[in-house]
Each structure stands twice: as C-alpha cells, then as structure tokens.
Structure 1
C-alpha cells in the first residue's frame, strides 16, 4: 500500500472543518466519480453524507477518484474511503452521486479498480449493492442501467430514509431491489427496464439543503454551501430544472441563516435562481456583517442593481457571472429567456462602477434556426460590453437534454460548430476573452444525454481504453441506434421526457 496515497487522504481529512463522522454496523461507501476538489464542492454529495449518518445503525465513508499524481499509487483493492481507509469492496453498499453524464466513466473506473463487477447482472450478494443518485437523474438515467442496482431519481430528501431502511434490513440484493422498486421515484433496472419513473420533487419542508464541511482543498475554497432556492421560476427551454424540478420553492431566510456556521470563512448560496430569491439581499447582508465572504452561482442580469452588486463586492466578489444563454435577442426570445440586451449592458456598467475585476457571460450556440446574423449580433454585443468592462464570454454548444422542450433538437454538427467558433473569434476575438467548450466533447455529452443503456456499455470500452475523445468516438460510432432514449420517448409518447413548453 502506497504511503503517499494514504498521506494524501489524511491531508484531505485533516483540513476539513465542521465535519461530523460516525461509525455504525451498516457501512456505506459514498462515492463521487471525480477528484476530491470537485466532490468537496458538491452540496448534494454533502447532504447525502449527513442523511446516511443520521440513519439508525448506518454510517457513511466517502471515496472519490484519486488525483492524477496519485493514479499509480493505489493499493491493490483500488481507492480507499476517506474516513476508514478501507477498500470499496469491503462495504455492503456502494453509493454514487453523479452530477453529469461525463462522470459515468468515473463510476466505471471506481468499480473496476475495486474489483467490483461493473454490471449489476454479474454481481452477487457477496458484492456491494450499487445505488446511484445525483443531478444527472433529473434527465436521463438509461446509460446507468447496466451498472446500478437502483437509482434514486431527482430529490432524495423525502425518500432516502425509506431507501436506507430497506438497504439496512433486507437479507439479499434481490430483496433490496424488489422492495426499492416500490418506493416512489426509485428506478430499479431489473424491474423497470425502460419504464423509468419520474424524478422525485422534495417539498419545502425538506429545505434548505446545507453542507457538512468546508475545506481549502475544495474547488470552492473554504466555502460552506447552503441552498437558497430549489426549482426555477423561469421557463428556459434548454433547462432540465424548469421541467423536472417544479414548483419553485424558497426557504425562509431565517431558516437558511440558522444553518450557516458563524466560523465558516466563506458562504456559497446554491440554486438555479439564486439572484431571484426574494430575500437574497437579507442573506448577503447578514453574511457580510459577520465578515463572511460570499459566493453566488450565475446571476440573472435583469435583477441586478447597485445595492446587490455592492453587497457582492463587500462580500469579497471579484468576478460577476451572468448568462445571456443565446447569441441574439431573437434567439433569447425563442428560448423564453426573457432577457434583453440592455439588461446585460447594465450588468457590465454595474461591474465597472463597483470595481469588479471581470464580468463573465455565458452563451449557447448551435441552437435551432441559428444564423450567422445571430452570431454576428453576439460578437457585436460582446465588443460593446468589452468597451465598458473586462469581459470573458464562455460559449457552449447546445446539448439537448431529455425532459426539456429542446430534447428533440438536433445536435449541431461538429464542423458547423467549429465554423461558428471561428466566425466569433474573427469578429471579436481581438478584444473579447472567449472561452469555448470543445464541440467534440459536447457531442459526446449529447450522445449520453439522449442515449439508452448501450451508451453506458460504450463508456466501459472508453474506461478500459483510458478515456479520451478518440475512444469515445470509436465506441459511440458503433451504436446501432444513437439517441435511443429520445427515440423511445417519441415512439411511446412519454410526454414527461419530451415536454412541449
């Protein structure tokens, strides 16, 4: 066993603040299919950790993909858990929190390195029971079908206690699967096949979600995470949250503030509509008055004003992130985004006025009906903003997702996306700091987002080949029916998979 790897695990553990651990007879290895810094920045991962430890006779120990420099330092049994330093195969239950499709390879790698059979059909009662949940389950879980014994769809708060009791009390994996198949919003491949339940939606009584620790090793350095809202009041056609996690729920500000430890140096408010929380200024003021730095995810430009931005700056913000989400006003209207160019320009003026270092703006290209005129409008608009303040424009190709109105949209061909990117660089690249998500990786994500179980099998080939785009391309090109999940929804009339609005 590598001393360097053990030392790294202990460094992570020793630098965490606020964490409460537990030992119990029924042990769960709670895994995040990415490296520690990403896992530590996941609020959902932290919430599930607490809930497992709150369950009778159960305890959780975390595990994640080793850092790149530790990949060759692993012991024979693969990764070890952070709390107990035990291999995954020694746990009766191995649970994964998966945020998006590209982390599927991480699940396969963690299982493989631990000597746990990848496929649920090959595991016996001597192997761990594999449970999966996380944000990816809001959209399409069919790529997980070959690997998971059960999948918790959507919000876990209302159903996880019942799930954990079944895992604790059942005598066999078969009994666990049979009983879990009766729990609302739990997908059991053996029982459901392609008939996937709709995601759970937790009621307001279960909110807010809040973190269990903070760490300097997190991507969100020393930040305590707490939820300010769940769902989204907007109706953007590309977004899963607006379709699969409604209605909008706002916890009371006092309840949110009660969850925040006074000793946490930084506080991050999490949600799809953080800036639209009715009491957001009250939350920010309370944290700033306690000398806590604050962090917010992407902000909606049309709700920003001087007081809001001044609070961000007092809370240590150096960059402000907003989303235009489309290259032109016409395209924003088609997406039901509702933002006008004047709102985005005003955000740039506020960023300059209050001394923020940079404004970051997200946009999507490759939309249905998009023209060169739309792209030229984006380039002109970006140039205009750059004359006001330093701007980073992050441009991502549209990745159609199930359970959104754009699920039936075509993925823009990679050569066309490359041409669009080249046009934007030519028009505005000299003054605007552009950041582009690779069209090739967006294509892989789209294939997984709309694919069936066979895309999960393709991911096994990719994991065994060491990853990389060429491995994905070779594996996915062999599929007999790309976008099988979307095709199934169209053929069977699954309206919740293909909402119209």
Structure 2
C-alpha cells in the first residue's frame, strides 16, 4: 500500500480523513516509472462534491486506458487541513500515489461554476506552484482548465497555461502525444505552449494580446503570432455510443453528493431556453445507443455495488429510446433492490407512470421547473411550457398518489414585472387548490406540500440573454419579498413554503461569468486575504470581494448590471461555441417580442450547430 502523505496524527485532527487517503474501490494504481506522463485531475471543491462529477470520472478512465499515462485525482482540502498544510509546509498531493502535485507533468482543473475560482488558487498555492502562469518555469506542471466555465476563461486566464474548450474525449490524445515528443526533444515550456495552441480547442492565454476602448470594453483580441488561431473552436463528441465511458467508476469511502451509478444517456438539448448556457454550448443533441446504455448499466452496478442508478441528461424526456431503457432498468435492476433516479423528466402521463413504478410515492416529491410564473415571461425565456400543461401534470401526479411538489423559478429575468413575480405564488396556489379539489379526502397521503424555490437570474455567456443586465442585491431581495408577501396572501398559503437564494452571491457570479482579464487581480486579492470556498455560505465573504473590487478598480455595474450594447465585443467572442452570435442576437430580439421559438425537432432555427452533423440535425428538419 502507498505510504500516506499525511501522518495518522494529522488525519486524526481533521474532519472526514477518508477524503485524503485514496485507495478507493476501482481507483487506478500504476508504476510511475513505467509511464511517460503523469496527469493530476483536480476539482476545486471538497472531495464529496468533486467525487460526484461525471466529467472527471470519464477523463480519469480515458487517460488511464493509455499505458503511457497515469491520471490521479486531487480535490480541495477542507479549511481545517488547509491550515495544517500551510503551517507544516506539506505540499498538496494526489490521492492515488500520495505524491506532490508539483512533480506531475499536468495539473488539470475542471471549472464547473464561477464560485470555485478562489479554490483554483488554493490548489495552486498548496501545490507550491506559482499562482501566475507567467511566473512558472520548466520545473512546474502545465496547468490546464476545462469545463463549462472555460466558455469565458478570461477572468482566470492569468492563472492557467492553457484551456481546453469543449468535451475532453476528443483532443487530449493529440495533446499528450505532442507533449511527449517535445519533452523528449527537450523543448521549453514556451515552445510547447506555442505548438499546443495549434491543436483545435486549445486556448493559450499568454499568446494573445487584448486591447480596450476608452469606455472599458474590449476593442480586439489578437494572437501574438500568425500561426496561432484567431478563433478557438469547441470540441464535441459526435459518436456518443462509441465514446469512452467508465465501466468501473471509483466508489468513495464516504457518502458523497451523488452516491450512485450515473448513466449519461445523451448530451445537448433540443429545447432552446434562452437563459440556459448548457443548452447552447452542448448543441447539437447527441444520443447514446440504448443497447450500449443497457450494457453499461449492468456492468457499472456490478463493479460498484451501488444501490441506485441515475440517468444523466439536460432533458431526459427527449431521449428517443427512453421507454425501452426504463423498461429494461425496471425489469433487470429495480427488482434487485436498485433504485432508479429519473431527473430532468417532463411531468406528463408517461413520466408519471414510469415514476410510479420506480419511486416510493409517499416519500418522494415531484419537481417542476416552470422558471417563470406568468405565461408572458415563460414565452420570453422560451420555456415552451403552458399553464395548462403544468396544471395537467400536477393533476396527473396528485391522482397518481403524490402530494409533494417542488417548483423552481428565477427572479430578475429580462422584462420581468411585478405581475410576473406575483404570478409565482399564484401558480403554486392553483396547484395546491387542484390537490384539494381533485383528490378525495380518504385517498390523500396527507396535506399537500408545495415548495417554491427562486434563484436569481445570471445572464451567462453564449446565451441569447448575454446582453441583459442584472440588479443590485437589494433589488433582488425586494423581488423576493414581493413573492414572499404574495405567498402569505394565497388561500392555500399553509401548503406553500418559499425559499430564495443569496442575492450577493448571484451578483458576484454575474461579474465572474461576464468579466475579462482585469478580474484576475481581484480574485488573487481575495485569496491572498483569506477567501476561498466561496460556494459555501459559511465561508463566503461578500465584503472581502467588495474590498477587492475597490482596490483593483473593478466596477460591478460595468461587468454585471449594465445592459450590453448589441455591437459590443465580449471577452468570450474569440471562442467558436458552434452556435453563432447572430443567432443569439436574433433570439434576444425574439425574446423581447415575447415570441416562442420552436424546439429543434419541430423546426431548425439556424443556430449554427448543424455544421457538426453535416448540415442536418434531425431527419424531419425542413
């Protein structure tokens, strides 16, 4: 067994020491002397969150299938261990070998949400790697970022040697082969970075100059060399059936957020919700063959011993072979004591019939995501969901035995009015009334429980709403109060509970999501003054961020609150995400006219993603 990087005395002092010891079932051990490349794959959050991330599991499996590469995992140490490591000068280590990350060839950091940005610096700092890419030498690992936040990497560009834009299964083999050949030829770090920038999907920030206009917006972003691409094109997997997928996922020692087998059934989404970044950047929709999914389900359950399997997709109801897959899982897994989790389903008769077979109705709740309370605002955001559909779904659910419903909405959406805000609890009231009107008293499972949750809208890059502005935290809270007061005025208010998110976190997320390279100095300031784990409310310090913005000359209004001009150059415009800016601007105008755009299976709207499929997304396209 590998000698642990932390002594027993240290492990006894920290919460959940099993986070740091490795040796989990299905983790990969190799002889470091028999490999050419060592890759540390890091998630900038605590073990329980990072171990639940499917992307790392896929890349871990893919890298370790190569005989010349050993991929290991790294997660953010919890503050208790962070303090000890700093005091005792213990370098951050990978779980499999327990060896320092600073000795690896690559440190890959997956970027799933903006509030983890200070934890990027924690990982680098504890690894004893210079925080700024410009200060690293040939002795340091190549630091590479991947994941959805790389669709605007500019706020953290100074901390990374490169970014991989898109899905990791495509170009990493080319990257590793190039690294091996240049390392053998004794080429410098700078020479490697220059050469790797020519691989599709790889963005090397140090090879680009950014100039600004007098008003602070970007004038242009130009490569420093002629052979460096002006546009970086996202990479996506077109054959989902044959693409790599872990048949033996790692099984954690402790309970993690997603403590189950995860079966990815498709990528992309046909729906076109105008607020949804994932629905845009993962286009086009690509399905995995049902026979492959059946095979994976059986193998993964056998290899892990998990008692639950979950389907992963942005919109599971749109998977064309869902009926066959669910029938197989019920017949072959559910009867063996395996629970089946079905997120991202529309609440219709088919879905409710399926869920009644795989869920304990008395214990479970159903989730609707209308996103907006009024039909007008649902049309603005292109939700494609009518009030009649929502009420019919609730009606079917109540008749099927459910009495708990969760409703997810957003506040602060473009064009939102006070009537739209009040429509949220009014809709909840109608759903509650439906329960008491349609379910006979003797057949009820108790009182109806409607839980409303509102998040505050963030206009993300590569969405039709990327031109929209945000609000000050006080304004978000005013809107939440309107909803809360309206809940109290409803006839069925005792059946309705209301939760809302932190407003200051939302505004900061907007700044980080929409910012440029100037933000890196503020992120660095926050970390150097003790800020990290910002995604955790107990550690989030908004005042420290305000202090950092003031010290660094960063305007929250400029980056988040103002509405962007239609001809403005965005920090992320150098990325080709497959969906054109012209399409998104057209959708922005369509939203303001309160008009719905049909989903991709109904009609092609010319977003640009068809190019990945040879010009045709679906056979029934016009």
Tell me if TM exceeds 0.5.
yes
Distance in 2 between residues matched to 1:303 and 1:487, nearest whole Å: 42
Gaps of 5+ in 1: none
CA distance 1:369–1:118, shift in 2 (3 Å): same
Classify the secondary structure of the residue corresponding to 2:286: coil
Structure 2 counterpart of 1:457? 521
Distance in 1 between residues matched to 2:312 and 2:131, nearest whole Å: 33
Q: What CA deviation, in whole Å up to 9, does each residue of 1:2-36 have, x standing for no partner?
A: 52655755566678444444344321111100001
Aligned residues: 500
Structure 2 counterpart of 1:141? 153
Is 1:345 the counterpart of 2:383 in the alignment?
A: no
- After superposing the two structures, state which structure 1 stretch, 385-394 or 128-137, moved more: 385-394
Q: Cα offset for 1:497?
A: 5.3
Q: Which has the higher contact order (CA 8 A, sep 6+)?
A: 2
Q: Cα offset for 1:198?
A: 3.6
Structure 1 counterpart of 2:455? 396
Structure 1 counterpart of 2:342? 296
Confirm or deny: 8 A CA contact 2:366 2:404 kept in the other structure. yes
Structure 2 counterpart of 1:70? 81
Is 1:49 the counterpart of 2:60 in the alignment?
A: yes
Is 1:266 the counterpart of 2:339 in the alignment?
A: no
Q: 1:127 aligns with which of 136, 140, 143?
A: 140
Q: Cα offset for 1:125?
A: 0.6
Q: 1:254 aligns with which of 274, 288, 291?
A: 291
Confirm or deny: 8 A CA contact 1:450 1:486 kept in the other structure. no
Structure 2 counterpart of 1:185? 201
Distance in 2 between residues matched to 1:209 and 1:319, nearest whole Å: 31
Distance in 2 between residues matched to 1:109 and 1:162, nearest whole Å: 29
Q: Compute the RMSD of aligned alpha carbons.
A: 2.8
Q: Cα offset for 1:489?
A: 8.7
Structure 1 counterpart of 2:30? 22
Question: What is the TM-score when the length of structure 2 is the normalising length?
Answer: 0.74
Distance in 2 between residues matched to 1:439 and 1:242, nearest whole Å: 24
- After superposing the two structures, state which structure 1 stretch, 400-409 or 431-440, moved more: 431-440
CA distance 1:30–1:4, shift in 2 (3 Å): farther
Structure 2 counterpart of 1:214? 251
Q: 1:405 aligns with which of 461, 464, 468?
A: 464
Confirm or deny: 8 A CA contact 1:208 1:229 kept in the other structure. no
CA distance 1:487–1:301, shift in 2 (3 Å): same
Q: 1:470 aligns with which of 543, 546, 550?
A: 543
Structure 2 counterpart of 1:327? 373
Structure 2 counterpart of 1:176? 192
Q: Cα offset for 1:451?
A: 0.3
Structure 2 counterpart of 1:33? 44
Structure 1 counterpart of 2:431? 385
Is 1:491 the counterpart of 2:568 in the alignment?
A: yes
Classify the secondary structure of the residue corresponding to 1:28: strand
CA distance 1:400–1:242, shift in 2 (3 Å): same
Q: What CA deviation, in whole Å up to 9, does each residue of 1:418-461 have, x standing for no partner?
A: 11101111111553222211111000000011100122321111
Q: What CA deviation, in whole Å up to 9, does each residue of 1:316-351 have, x standing for no partner?
A: 982332311223111111111100122222333344
Distance in 1 between residues matched to 2:109 and 2:76, nearest whole Å: 12
Distance in 1 between residues matched to 2:484 and 2:404, nearest whole Å: 19
Structure 2 counterpart of 1:110? 123
Classify the secondary structure of the residue corresponding to 1:262: helix
- After superposing the two structures, state which structure 1 stretch, 240-249 or 93-102, moved more: 240-249
Q: Cα offset for 1:488?
A: 10
Distance in 2 between residues matched to 1:173 and 1:240, nearest whole Å: 34
Q: 2:94 aligns with which of 54, 64, 81?
A: 81
Confirm or deny: 8 A CA contact 2:105 2:141 kept in the other structure. yes
Distance in 2 between residues matched to 1:236 and 1:3, nearest whole Å: 51
Structure 2 counterpart of 1:155? 167
Is 1:227 the counterpart of 2:264 in the alignment?
A: yes
Is 1:438 the counterpart of 2:502 in the alignment?
A: yes
- After superposing the two structures, state which structure 1 stretch, 379-388 or 103-112, moved more: 379-388
Structure 1 counterpart of 2:323? 281
CA distance 1:241–1:222, shift in 2 (3 Å): closer
Is 1:428 the counterpart of 2:487 in the alignment?
A: yes
CA distance 1:322–1:165, shift in 2 (3 Å): farther
Q: What CA deviation, in whole Å up to 9, does each residue of 1:297-318 have, x standing for no partner?
A: 3333357543232234169982
Q: What CA deviation, in whole Å up to 9, does each residue of 1:94-139 have, x standing for no partner?
A: 11111011111111111112221111101001111101101222x3
Confirm or deny: 8 A CA contact 1:238 1:400 kept in the other structure. yes
Q: Which has the larger radius of gyration?
A: 2
Distance in 1 between residues matched to 2:28 and 2:105, nearest whole Å: 22
Confirm or deny: 8 A CA contact 2:24 2:251 kept in the other structure. yes
Classify the secondary structure of the residue corresponding to 2:341: strand
CA distance 1:372–1:15, shift in 2 (3 Å): farther
Classify the secondary structure of the residue corresponding to 2:30: coil
Distance in 2 between residues matched to 1:101 and 1:474, nearest whole Å: 19
Q: Cα offset for 1:225?
A: 1.3
Confirm or deny: 8 A CA contact 1:321 1:361 kept in the other structure. yes
Structure 2 counterpart of 1:90? 103
- After superposing the two structures, state which structure 1 stretch, 211-220 or 357-366, moved more: 211-220
Distance in 2 between residues matched to 1:4 and 1:286, nearest whole Å: 49
Distance in 2 between residues matched to 1:362 and 1:20, nearest whole Å: 39
